[in-house]
Structure formats: structure tokens, C-alpha cells
A = this chain, B = another copy of it.
Amino acid sequence: MVEPKRRNTPQKAAVKHALGEATGFVSAQQLHQTLKNHGSSIGLATVYRTLADLAQAGDADSLQSNDGEVLYRACTNAHHHHLICRECGKTVEIEADRVEKWADEVAQEHGFSEPSHNIDIFGNCAACQSAKSKSGLAN
């Protein structure tokens, strides 16, 4: 089972670029729409394939939205987590050795090897809070 050689194509570059332009997390569908709106004739399947590759390679983060879509975001290779606004999707990257260590310890304590983890924090960002209170929907 030899890995086939990768080829560089304008499509892959386009997806990569579009993902970089996007703020926060985007779905494959959204990205596909965006690309088409900009004149590209890229296929939906290609967007999916490329995003999966990017995630595999560690060039993109992925997480599941609460309505079953997978969302992607360009990222650095460094391990980190996200603080995400429920309303607008604004994202802040979080790094915290404390928590990394904690997760590994917990796994070890229970005899689990090769620990990995998902940590996502959600909340309403400052902008969305003030927007909400202005529209009289304050809780």
C-alpha cells in the first residue's frame, strides 16, 4: 500500500485560499458556494475531498456544528482549542498547557493510553451581547 504522489492543482489552492479568507468556521457547503460565487466551477466533491485532506494533514481544524454539519477552519499546526461564539461563530484560539496536562493525567489514571481530546468552549461574544440587549431581547 504505497501512498500515491500528490499533485498540485488550482482547485486545492482555491479551497485552501478560501478557507484562509473565511473568518471562523465554515462548512464544506458554504465554502463551495463561496467559491462558485467567485466564479470557480469547482465541484462539491472536490471541496469535501480537499477539506478532508487538509484536516488530515493538520492544516485545518474540524468540529461538528450542533445541526450535524462538519465545520472547518484554517489553523496552525500547533495543538490548540477554540472559544466559539454561539451567535456569530467568531472564534478565538486557546492554548493551555494546564488543561493538556490534565487531560493526559486523567487518561493515565484510568489506564487509557494514547490520550487525545476535544475541548470546545462556547459563549456569546461581547459584540453579540450588546446587539442582543439593544434589540430588547435581554434575558
* CB closest residue in chain B, given A112: B123
Scoring A residues 96 to 139 as 1 if CB is less than 8 Å from chain B, else 0, what string do you get? 10110011001100111111111111111110010000000000
Nearest CB of B to A91, in Å: 10
Is A14 located at the chain interface by the 8 A CB criterion? no
Residues of B with C-beta under 8 A to A70: 68
> Interface on chain A toward B: helix, strand, loop, or mixed SS?
strand
Instruction: Work out how many copies of this chain go into the complex.
Output: 2
Q: Which residue of B lies closest to A102 (CB)?
A: B99
Q: Which of B94, B106, B120, B125 contacts A118 (CB 8 A)?
A: B120
Interface size class of A (residues with CB under 8 A): 20 to 34
B120 touches A117 (CB 8 A): yes
Contact A117 B117 (CB under 8 A): no
Chain B residues in 8 Å Cβ range of A106: 83, 94, 96, 121
Q: Is A13 an interface residue (CB 8 A)?
A: no
For the complex with contacts A68-B70, A111-B126, 18 further pairs of A-B residues with Cβ separation under 8 Å are A64-B64, A68-B68, A106-B121, A107-B121, A110-B125, A111-B129, A112-B124, A112-B125, A113-B124, A114-B124, A115-B122, A116-B122, A117-B119, A117-B120, A117-B121, A118-B118, A118-B119, A118-B120
